[in-house]
Amino acid sequence: MSLPHTLILHGLGGSGPEHWQNWLAGELAHHGGSVDLPQFSSPDAPRLATWLGELRSHLAAMPSDGSVERVVVAHSLAVLLWLHHAAGSVDPALRVDRVLLVAPPAPDFDGEPLISEFLHPALDPAAVREAAASTRLVVGEGDSYCTVPKAKELAEALRVEVDVIVGGAHLNVDAGYGPWGAALKWVRSGRVPLTPR
């Protein structure tokens, strides 16, 4: 089975070299997978309209001949970006096969002024299904950006499955998430539920 084409989307500030997203990109490339790990403009001062345009450009550049599965992996602020994308008038050509939404800020999170434009996305399950054939949410217990109850409310609103990683916090380098084998297994084979590193 061939590896999917994987688009990996970073959150506020980007993903540093030790972050699991960079590890994941390297592992997929090492095994012959096609990977796109873009750097959004002004990662420390994001603008929703700019990031949406860039996201859609990268989606449009994904293989579209049906020869390879199209997968998106979004972390933190990129989860809210994906929800805004889905809620827009999405070109059917931009629809992907699978999306993994990892460690989002709560949609009403008010502790970081830099992401205010991204807050309060439409939580429309039909739109989420239009944007991707399958969507899964993964959250860490103890995440200061989104409590587990808030994450479960989000999953229920979107009608998607959710995995809670015990002690996972924000599922970033600070929480010990450099290499994360479960994320690689999900990209390669769709294996669920996702488990701790």
Chain segment 77-120, per-residue pLDDT in tens: 999 999 999 999 778 999 999 999 999 999 999 999 999 999 99
pLDDT for position 155: 98
**CA–CA distance, 124 with 103 (Å, rounded to integer):** 19
pLDDT for position 128: 97
Regions of the chain short of the pLDDT cut 70: 1
pLDDT for position 70: 97
Token code pair at residue 81 = 């970006």
Q: What share of the chain is helix, strand, coil (3-state, %, to 5)?
A: 40, 20, 45
For residue 113, cis peptide bond before it (omega within 30 degrees of 0): no
Q: Compute the CA torsion angle 14, 20, 25, 26 (nearest 10 deg).
A: 120
pLDDT for position 1: 54
The identity of residue 96, as a single letter, is: V
Other Cβ atoms less than 10 A from the Cβ of 127: the count is 18
State the chain's mean pLDDT as an integer: 96
Token code pair at residue 112 = 């970081």
pLDDT for position 7: 98
Q: Which residues contact 71 (CB under 8 A, 6 or more apart)?
A: 4, 5, 6, 7, 96, 97, 98, 99, 100, 187
Q: Give percent of the chain above pLDDT 70.
A: 99
Distance of CA 166 to the CA centre of its chain: 19
Domains parsed from the chain with CATH numbers: 5-189 (3.40.50.1820)
pLDDT for position 89: 78
Predicted TM-score (pTM) of this structure? 0.97
pLDDT for position 151: 97
pLDDT in tens, 35-46: 999 999 999 999
pLDDT for position 190: 94
**CA–CA distance, 6 with 33 (Å, rounded to integer):** 8
